[in-house]
């Protein structure tokens, strides 16, 4: 039986923190599926197709990582993928409380699915997609916090101001 994990998120845009968690998690599973979710409570900068394209470019050399969009309940998506675990990244204490609550509800919905947490590396502790979007929209340089494919896409939307 293949060990499959699902790493869900909106990834709007993908950051170095997301990439780091995905790469580290991919060593624990035969297949890691990065699920690009639609969160009705979030306005996104990039379309699901744009986010998928960026992630596919970033992970093109990683054969056990697959990118899939989804619009249904996360636990249903995980079951559709045949996964045994959810992968989540943790940065600050505030993440922990939210993620613990989410893990508890997911366990309530299906106790056969485990949640596995990966701590952010120090350089990614305070990086979030929303912060990246905001800085980029005002012309700030976030090239050291996102992969090259993401930086290129951000620059096409928002030129860097000096």
CATH of the domain at 120: 3.40.50.620
- Phi-psi category of 11—alpha, beta or left, where left has phi over 0 and alpha has psi -120 to 50? left
Give CA torsion, residues 38, 39, 41, 43, to 10 deg: -50
Print burial letters for 84-117: b (CB count within 10 Å at least 16), e (below 16).
bbbbbbbbeeebeeebeeebeebeeeeeebeeee
Tally of domains within the chain: 1
- Note the pLDDT of residue 73: 94
Q: Which residues are catalytic?
A: 18, 42, 91, 129
Whether residue 142 contacts residue 136, with contact meaning beta carbons closer than 8 Å, is answered with yes
- Note the pLDDT of residue 162: 66
pLDDT: which is higher, 99 or 95: 99
Residue 84 located in a structural domain: yes
Residue 25 located in a structural domain: yes
Band the pLDDT of 63: cuts 50, 70, 90: very high
Residue 44 located in a structural domain: yes
The boundaries of the domain holding residue 86 are: 4-125
Band the pLDDT of 79: cuts 50, 70, 90: very high
Residue 137 located in a structural domain: no
Residue 156 located in a structural domain: no
Residue 145 located in a structural domain: no
42, containing H or E segment = none
- What's the rounded Cα separation, in Å, for the pair 104 and 100? 6
- Token digits of residue 43: 């306005």
- Note the pLDDT of residue 22: 98
């Amino acid at each position: 039986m293949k060990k499959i994990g699902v790493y869900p998120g909106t990834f709007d845009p993908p950051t170095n923190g997301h990439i780091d968690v995905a790469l580290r998690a991919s060593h624990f599973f035969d297949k890691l599926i990065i699920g690009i979710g639609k969160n009705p409570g979030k306005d996104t900068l990039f379309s699901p197709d744009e986010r998928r394209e960026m992630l596919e470019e970033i992970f093109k050399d990683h054969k056990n990582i697959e990118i899939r969009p989804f619009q249904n309940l996360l636990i249903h998506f995980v079951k559709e993928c045949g996964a045994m675990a959810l992968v989540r990244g943790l940065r600050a204490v505030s993440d922990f409380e939210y993620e613990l609550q989410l893990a508890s509800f997911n366990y309530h919905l299906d106790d056969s699915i485990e949640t596995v947490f990966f701590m952010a590396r120090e350089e990614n502790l305070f990086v979030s997609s929303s912060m990246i979007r905001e800085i980029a929209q005002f012309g700030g340089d976030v090239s050291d916090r996102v992969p090259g494919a993401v930086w290129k896409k951000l620059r096409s939307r928002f030129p860097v101001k000096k």
